[in-house]
Structure 1
Amino acid sequence: MNAPPELDLLYVDEHLVVVDKPAGIAVHRSNLVGADDDYVIDRLRRQIEGPLHLAHRLDRATSGVLLVARSVEAAADLGRQLMDRKVDKSYLAVVRGWPAESGTIDHPLTGASLKGERKPARTNWRRLATVELPIEMGRYPQQRYALLDVEPETGRYQQIRRHFAHASHHIVGDTTHGRGDHNRLFRMHYGVHRLLLHAWRLRFAHPADGRAMGLSAPVDAMWIKALAGLGWTLPAVT
């Protein structure tokens, strides 16, 4: 069996590694995912020697910037930044409908079991583009979609996906919380077979010297296909 391809690394030093995580691969072994032979952390261990500690997580279906510490001390510092909400995370998402130009979803969520106590969860968004497609589906002769820049304030399980489903602006390609009819539309008309949620930018303080770090991950080929089909271009990363 051929070895899986190496990961694209966005930044590397003796304290941390920033990975461009592909869609469709789990970050690590977990009871929440099936038994796979391929995980991000295993690929990374074949590329980077020494200890590696995941500073945060991305869903299997989500692509983009993933932060990994190379020491216990760096992991602890990044963990504190995350707990104190000092890490700015920005995602790109394609959703059904046209949300307002900006807003916040403030809706408590349960944990990964989807049961038990609900904890505070807030997600902010800014609308980047809209489109109305002349495709009839159900009782509507046209279908509306929007491209959003999404910034979660908290980090609950599948927070962005669950929040936009709660707001009836389901993320395209979400097979768990999304809408099957809209997912099929994107497969049929645009050849898009993945969740259109991408961890676009990450801003944090370097764990060793505190300098401001800003990393971004480019969108993959399927994202490019979707953007081209919808007539959208991404703004420059700032």
Structure 2
Amino acid sequence: MEIPILYQDEHIIVVEKPIDLPVHKNDFMPNDAAYLTKLVGDMTGKWIYNVHRLDSKTSGVIVLALSSEMAKELTLQFERKEVQKTYIALVQGNPGTGTFDQKVLVKKKSKFKKPAVTHYKTLETVETNISYKEKENVALSLVEVKPETGRWHQLRQHFAKNQFDIVGDTHHGDFTLNKIILADTDVRRLFLHAQKLEFVHPAEGTKMVFESKLPDEFQKVMEHYKK
């Protein structure tokens, strides 16, 4: 699997993570399973240090460090909330513009919750012919999302809690809607993409901004229901 590189120097590397690829190894994976830091390490011949997370099902831009010193500096930026992260999500309904600030679960099968803040702005909405249960002509919206915090599945939890489920979310989302959209469009993925990342270069001190093109599947689904 080839990982697109957006930027590389002697200190950091910025890449586009595909969907369904974990960032790092975990105890539940087979020994020979692929993961991002291993693939990037194989591509570059360097030891790769992870500094922030994207869910395996989320695609988009991610920064990795090439030394423990740079990893520490970048990790501190994330902890101090100095890094700007922008996502694009395809969601059920039209959430408009606002902020979700409910507490979210900290991990799977946990009952412990922590504060979380997610800002959002609807970019485009299409009304579909999808109707099921008590819902009629369900709207779908492309939404720009900017999290202030970085909790487990934070964006997925926040949108699901407020009945604006992210399309393709098989953990927190609307399973009936997911099945209908899959049958209609033959597109299977979590519709959450890390589109933009802004941080300060840990060695140079310069502002770095990287953007990842929105995957074609997002517009494919929107266009399907515009007909």
Paired residues of 2:38 and 2:48 also in contact (CA < 8 A): no
Q: Which residue of 2 aligns with 1:235?
A: none
Residues 24 and 188 of structure 1, relative CA distance in 2, 3 Å threshold? same
Q: Which residue of 2 aligns with 1:49?
A: 45
Residue in structure 1 matching 2:16, options 7, 17, 20: 20
Pair 1:165 & 2:156 matched = no
Distance, in Å, in 2 between the alignment partners of 1:41 and 1:99 is 35
Q: Which residue of 2 aligns with 1:234?
A: none
Paired residues of 2:166 and 2:173 also in contact (CA < 8 A): yes
Distance, in Å, in 2 between the alignment partners of 1:38 and 1:86 is 30
Q: Which residue of 1 aligns with 2:3?
A: 7
Deviates more, 1:60-69 or 1:212-221: 212-221
Residue in structure 2 matching 1:202, options 197, 202, 211: 197
Q: Which residue of 2 aligns with 1:107?
A: 102
Residue in structure 1 matching 2:86, options 90, 96, 103: 90
**1:7 match: secondary structure:** coil
Distance, in Å, in 2 between the alignment partners of 1:135 and 1:166 is 21
Paired residues of 2:59 and 2:192 also in contact (CA < 8 A): yes
Distance, in Å, in 1 between the alignment partners of 2:43 and 2:49 is 14
Paired residues of 2:124 and 2:142 also in contact (CA < 8 A): yes
Distance, in Å, in 1 between the alignment partners of 2:165 and 2:127 is 16
* Distance apart, 1:6 and its partner CA: 1.5
Gaps of 5+ in 1: 232-238
Q: Which residue of 2 aligns with 1:154?
A: 149
* Distance apart, 1:217 and its partner CA: 1.1
Total equivalences in the alignment:
225
Pair 1:143 & 2:138 matched = yes
Distance, in Å, in 1 between the alignment partners of 2:46 and 2:193 is 28
Within a 5 Å distance, the mapping from 1:221-236 to structure 2 comes to 221-231=216-226
* Distance apart, 1:209 and its partner CA: 1.2
Paired residues of 2:90 and 2:166 also in contact (CA < 8 A): yes
Deviations 1:168-191 (A, max 9, x none): 111000000001111012111122
TM norm structure 1: 0.89
**1:226 match: secondary structure:** helix
Residues 159 and 203 of structure 1, relative CA distance in 2, 3 Å threshold? same
Which amino acid is 2:196 matched to?
Answer: R
Deviations 1:184-216 (A, max 9, x none): 121111222100000000000011111111101
TM norm structure 2: 0.93
Paired residues of 2:24 and 2:36 also in contact (CA < 8 A): yes
**1:162 match: secondary structure:** helix
Aligned-CA RMSD value? 1.5
Which amino acid is 1:204 matched to?
Answer: F
* Distance apart, 1:156 and its partner CA: 0.4
